[in-house]
Chain A
Amino acid sequence: MRYILNHMVQFSSTRLNTSFAALSDATRRGILEQLGRADASITDLAEKFDMTLTGMKKHVGILEQAGLVATQKIGRVRTCKLGPRQLQQETAWLEKYRELWAARFDELDKVVEELEQKEKIHGRKK
């Protein structure tokens, strides 16, 4: 029942378009997946995805604009990691997830209350 949440969770964002464009490319999704496992330099990523440095810089730039990736230059190496947006997304998603479950449990309360009422009238089954 995993993906249902993704249909249920409605998260509107003004940055949706940037984000969507950023995620519309298979390589960029791969980069995010990679960074989800460990931080990496542009050079690492370029090698991993069999690409030129220039090509990789472009992809990382698009992800950075969407807030999905953050980069930091230390010496001559630019290190990439998941961006602040990713963390905000997680917090927002968890709240939506909580709201979904709260709504579910509100309905469950009613069902259980009704079962209790029935028991009071008819006695316990078994």
Chain B
Amino acid sequence: MDARSESDPVKNRTTSERKSERELVVTRTVNGPARLVFEAWTKADLFKRWWVPKSVGLTLLSCEIDARVGGTYRLVFRHPASEQPMAFFGRYIEVTPHSRLVWTNEEAGEAGSVTTVTFEEKGGKTLVVVHDLYPSKAVLDDAIASGSTSGDMNETFEQLDELLVALGATA
């Protein structure tokens, strides 16, 4: 990234892996107890402060989180290259305080993945594992392929959006 990230103190390593044909896994240790990390994942006013890092260029317009079993979440974003705001939403399937969260990703319809996040505290630090399970290999392949080809050229952004929709429709 930039030079700043190297001089910053104690940043823990983040890993990403395609664990199987249908699974993506991200891990990171956060310096703090699980109850506080869990709080930051389940309270909207905290969640919205970190979920969309500034470097990404998206603006979070709204963020609603009802982290209870059966409760829903809804995030609305704006991208400078896209006229329409984008909404991401789903439902919490499992909410086990300080240790486990499971939610659905419903904006993609049947192509949506299920996200499981576990929090494991050790010596005042918390290992966070984010696990995404996709309905099929083809859906995850598509997500990767469309993400990889959506380059940083604004003029193609809308076309690529249409392409994503088309890919989603044929998945």
A binding-site residues for B, Cβ under 8 Å: 1-13, 16, 19-20, 23-24, 26, 29-30, 32-33, 36-37, 86, 89-90, 92-113, 115-116, 119
Q: Are A11 and B143 in contact (CB under 8 A)?
A: no
Q: Are B151 and A30 in contact (CB under 8 A)?
A: no
Q: Are B75 and A11 in contact (CB under 8 A)?
A: no
Secondary structure at chain B's binding surface: helix, strand, loop or mixed?
A: mixed
Q: Are B166 and A36 in contact (CB under 8 A)?
A: no
Q: How far is the CA of A113 from the CA of B151 in the complex (A)?
A: 35
B9-41, CB < 8 A from A: 11-12, 14-18, 24, 26, 28, 30-33, 36-37, 39-40
Q: A2 with B105: in contact, given A33-B142, A102-B14 (CB under 8 Å)?
A: yes
B114-171, CB < 8 A from A: 115, 128, 130, 132, 137-138, 141-153, 156, 159-160, 163-164, 166-167, 170-171
Q: Are A97 and B37 in contact (CB under 8 A)?
A: no
- B61 surroundings in chain A (CB, below 8 A): none
In-complex Cβ contact of A109 among B5, B11, B159 (8 A):
B11
Q: How far is the CA of A33 from the CA of B140 in the complex (A)?
A: 11
- A100 surroundings in chain B (CB, below 8 A): 53, 56
Q: Are A104 and B51 in contact (CB under 8 A)?
A: yes
- A-B contacts at CB below 8 angstroms, number: 176
- B138 surroundings in chain A (CB, below 8 A): 33, 36-37
Q: Are A2 and B28 in contact (CB under 8 A)?
A: no
Please, which residue of chain B has its CB at the minimum distance from the CB of A22? B149
* 14 additional A-B residue pairs with CB within 8 Å, beyond A10-B152, A111-B40: A1-B107, A5-B143, A11-B151, A12-B153, A13-B148, A16-B149, A36-B138, A37-B137, A86-B145, A98-B16, A103-B56, A104-B53, A106-B5, A111-B46
Q: How far is the CA of A95 from the CA of B144 in the complex (A)?
A: 11
Q: Which of A19, A102, A110, A111 has the largest number of chain B CB atoms within 10 A?
A: A111
List the 3 shortest-distance A-B pairs measured between CB atoms, nearest first. A107-B50, A98-B16, A103-B53
Q: How far is the CA of A107 from the CA of B151 in the complex (A)?
A: 25
